[in-house]
């Protein structure tokens, strides 16, 4: 005999076996006892919460010859015929593949005939939101005034797609996500019946991974049992099969992020990917871990909400004291944005690595949250007495600094004027120069094209911009002074700068610096901070 999946083998056959939907089971059983059976039901809820199961039990209960406290006996000929799928009184329709007007017209023709066995003819339409607008319109009249012997049970995961005219003609029941405790108790019961030994921690992890779906929980459990057939199901084995990440790994990763150790954070992630961890699942689980940190940070009594062990709760509390709420919110915001980006991305791993580096280095973020994170990090270092290095590229007053091989005069010594050949070097390091300027100047400069006067061979740097606003903003004296100071810090030369519009650039015969000359110039990327160099065992940078 072929193997039957757990979710099919242990599908509830009575209302008493349905778990986690007591509010619905009680209501339906009371209706059956009192004979107040509705003509149309709408079951809404996420996948695996029992919508189709309850619909089938209800279909048997209304036709059962010997009902027991509202539940079907599953022993009479009518119940057996429905269970085996040979009864003509219960018709199951998959609206995903039968969603046209003609399919609904067939139903309208069939409802004219009374059931051959039992009292009711029950139509179970699964994924009813997939019906076309024409099919909904065809169903509307029949749903409003069906024969007394017909019951419609509509099931959907997307109730928002169902027309209001259909909703108003049905008794609506919302199926809730099943709690972890309820799922874990059901899994333990079934494992005992299957004679499989499993750790309680492993069972609870499977229940948590199911995300409120009993069917998903049984499918995941089936997968774990098959992988370690005949062996005890341990917590580590479940982690290995499901490709998820243990909280210990997340704890280590969070501490690396807090410490700003981008190399270690990326290395931990790469090790998990090499171990077969799914990138999207990693992002989801890490976001959930940070959410737990945020809850612990703002409340003292959350054991039931977090559903973690005492050891993990103490670990979360320790980590929550290592960073403030605003920083934690920034982490969650970055990862939440990342979840939407990687869904259809081709290079998912690269996107995650970039996000981890952003978490570790707020100086890379130009938005307000990144600026605030940098300010908080500076405040923390000052409070701890850590010497803060100057990393914005500006020379300190009264001292000479060596950058890119050029000597920068100290205060009181005017730098020499830039020669025409110096413009090549400035053009080659333009990205670096733009990155070292502050906002909003860097925004305007990022779209500017450095050019020079090709006819006179002058040493003045012209910046061609696209609009008049950018030209006026860059030519503002304070911003020109800032730009000249950045250029001086890199080259040791004082270069005159002027922003011009495209028309002005054409009138002045301005030309871009040839590519072959740029290749001879020093071209470097903008450094996000002054990095002393990697450790020998890093292997990342």
pLDDT tens across 32-52, in order?
A: 988 889 899 999 988 899 999
pLDDT tens across 248-297, in order?
A: 788 889 989 988 888 999 999 988 888 777 888 888 888 988 988 888 88
The position carrying tokens 């903008």 is 526
**Residue 511 — very low, low, confident or very high, per pLDDT cuts 50/70/90?**
low
pLDDT at 460: 78
Asked whether 29 and 70 are in contact (CB, 8 A), the reply is yes
Mean of pLDDT over the chain: 79
Q: How far is CA 389 from the centre of its chain?
A: 36
pLDDT at 9: 87
Which tokens go with 357?
């580096």
Q: Report how far residue 309's alpha carbon sits from residue 205's, in angstroms, rounded to the nearest whole number.
A: 11
Asked whether 433 and 463 are in contact (CB, 8 A), the reply is no
User: Which residues have CB under 8 Å from 135's CB, separation 6+?
Assistant: 99, 100, 101, 103, 104
Strand 497-500, strand 461-464: pairing: parallel
Q: Report how far residue 151's alpha carbon sits from residue 131's, in angstroms, rounded to the nearest whole number.
A: 18
pLDDT at 56 over 90: yes
Q: How far is CA 154 from the centre of its chain?
A: 31
pLDDT at 401 over 60: no
pLDDT at 431: 77
Name the DSSP class of 417. B
Fold match, 180-242 / 247-381: no
In CATH terms, 247-381 corresponds, of 3.20.20.70, 1.10.3720.10, 1.20.272.10, 1.25.40.10, to 1.20.272.10
Q: Find the mean pLDDT for residues 195-217.
A: 88
**Residue 541 — very low, low, confident or very high, per pLDDT cuts 50/70/90?**
very low
Dihedral over Cα of 493, 494, 495, 499: its sign: positive
User: Which residues have CB under 8 Å from 380's CB, separation 6+?
Assistant: none
Dihedral over Cα of 19, 25, 29, 35: its sign: negative
Q: Percent of the chain at pLDDT above 90?
A: 16
Q: Report how far residue 319's alpha carbon sits from residue 332's, in angstroms, rounded to the nearest whole number.
A: 15
Q: Find the mean pLDDT for residues 203-221.
A: 88
Q: Report how far residue 257's alpha carbon sits from residue 264's, in angstroms, rounded to the nearest whole number.
A: 9
pLDDT at 109 over 90: no
Kindly give the residue spans of alpha helices, DSSP state H, lying in 228-367. Answer: 235-242, 247-258, 262-274, 279-298, 303-306, 310-320, 325-342, 348-360
In CATH terms, 6-174 corresponds, of 3.30.465.10, 1.10.1030.10, 3.40.50.300, 3.40.50.10490, to 3.40.50.300
pLDDT at 508: 58
Closest C-alpha among 473, 424, 405 to residue 444: 473
pLDDT tens across 353-362, in order?
A: 988 988 888 7
Q: Residue 513 burial (CB < 10 Å; 0-12/13-18/19+)? A: middle
**Residue 521 — very low, low, confident or very high, per pLDDT cuts 50/70/90?**
very low
Dihedral over Cα of 230, 234, 237, 241: its sign: positive
pLDDT at 516 over 50: no
Whole-prediction pTM: 0.57
pLDDT at 409: 43
Rg of the chain taking only CA atoms, in angstroms: 34
What is the architecture, at CATH level 2, of domain 415-520?
2-Layer Sandwich (3.30)
Domain parsing of the chain, residue ranges: 6-174, 180-242, 247-381, 415-520
pLDDT tens across 368-398, in order?
A: 555 666 666 666 666 666 655 544 433 343 3
pLDDT at 518: 37
pLDDT at 423: 72
Asked whether 244 and 517 are in contact (CB, 8 A), the reply is no
What is the architecture, at CATH level 2, of domain 180-242?
Orthogonal Bundle (1.10)
Q: Find the mean pLDDT for residues 435-446.
A: 78
Asked whether 154 and 139 are in contact (CB, 8 A), the reply is no
């Amino acid at each position: 005999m072929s193997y039957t999946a757990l979710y099919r083998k242990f599908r509830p056959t009575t209302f008493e076996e349905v778990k986690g939907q007591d509010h619905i089971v009680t209501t339906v059983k009371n209706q059956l006892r009192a004979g107040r059976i509705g003509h149309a039901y709408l079951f809404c809820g996420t996948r695996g919460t029992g919508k189709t199961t309850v619909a089938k039990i209800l279909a048997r209960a209304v036709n059962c010859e010997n009902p027991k406290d509202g539940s079907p006996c599953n022993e009479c000929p009518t119940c057996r015929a429905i269970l085996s799928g040979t009864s003509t009184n219960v018709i199951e329709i998959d609206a995903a593949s039968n969603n046209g007007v003609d399919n609904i017209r067939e139903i309208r023709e069939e409802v004219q005939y009374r059931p051959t066995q039992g009292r009711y003819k029950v139509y179970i339409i699964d994924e009813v939101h997939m019906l076309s607008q024409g099919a909904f319109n065809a169903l509307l009249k029949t749903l409003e005034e069906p024969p007394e012997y017909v019951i419609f049970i509509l099931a959907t995961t997307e109730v928002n797609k169902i027309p209001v005219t259909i909703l108003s003609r049905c008794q609506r029941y919302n199926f809730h996500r099943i709690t972890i405790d309820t799922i874990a108790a059901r899994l333990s019961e079934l494992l005992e019946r299957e004679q499989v030994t499993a750790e309680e921690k492993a069972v609870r992890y499977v229940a948590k991974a199911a995300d409120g779906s009993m069917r998903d929980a049984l499918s995941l459990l089936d997968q774990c049992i098959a992988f370690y057939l005949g062996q005890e199901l341990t917590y580590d084995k479940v982690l290995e099969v499901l490709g998820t990440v243990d909280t210990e790994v997340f704890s280590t990763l969070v501490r690396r992020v807090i410490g700003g150790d981008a190399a270690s954070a990326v290395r931990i992630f790469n090790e998990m990917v090499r171990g077969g961890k799914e990138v999207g699942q990693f992002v989801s689980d890490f976001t959930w871990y940070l959410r737990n940190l945020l809850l612990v940070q703002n409340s003292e009594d959350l054991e039931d909400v977090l559903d973690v062990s005492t050891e993990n709760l103490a670990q979360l509390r320790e980590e929550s004291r290592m960073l403030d709420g605003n920083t934690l919110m920034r982490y969650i915001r970055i990862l939440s944005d990342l979840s939407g980006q990687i869904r259809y991305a081709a290079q998912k791993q690269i996107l995650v690595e970039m996000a981890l580096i952003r978490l570790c280095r707020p100086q890379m973020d130009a938005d307000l949250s990144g600026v605030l994170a940098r300010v908080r990090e500076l405040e923390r270092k000052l409070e701890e007495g850590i010497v803060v290095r100057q990393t914005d590229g500006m020379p300190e007053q009264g001292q000479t600094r060596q950058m890119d091989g050029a000597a920068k005069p100290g205060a009181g010594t005017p730098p020499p004027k830039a020669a025409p050949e110096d413009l090549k070097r400035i053009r080659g390091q333009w990205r670096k120069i733009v990155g070292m300027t502050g906002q909003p100047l860097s925004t305007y400069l990022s779209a500017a094209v450095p050019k020079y006067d090709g006819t006179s061979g002058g040493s003045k740097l012209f910046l061609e911009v696209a609009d008049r606003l950018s030209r006026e903003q860059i030519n503002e004296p304070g911003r020109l002074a800032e730009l000249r100071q950045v250029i001086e810090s890199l080259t040791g030369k004082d270069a005159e700068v002027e922003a011009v519009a495209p028309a002005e650039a054409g009138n002045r015969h301005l030309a871009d610096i040839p590519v072959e000359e740029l290749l001879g110039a020093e071209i470097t990327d903008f450094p996000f901070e002054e990095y002393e160099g990697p450790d020998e065992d890093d292997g990342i940078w």
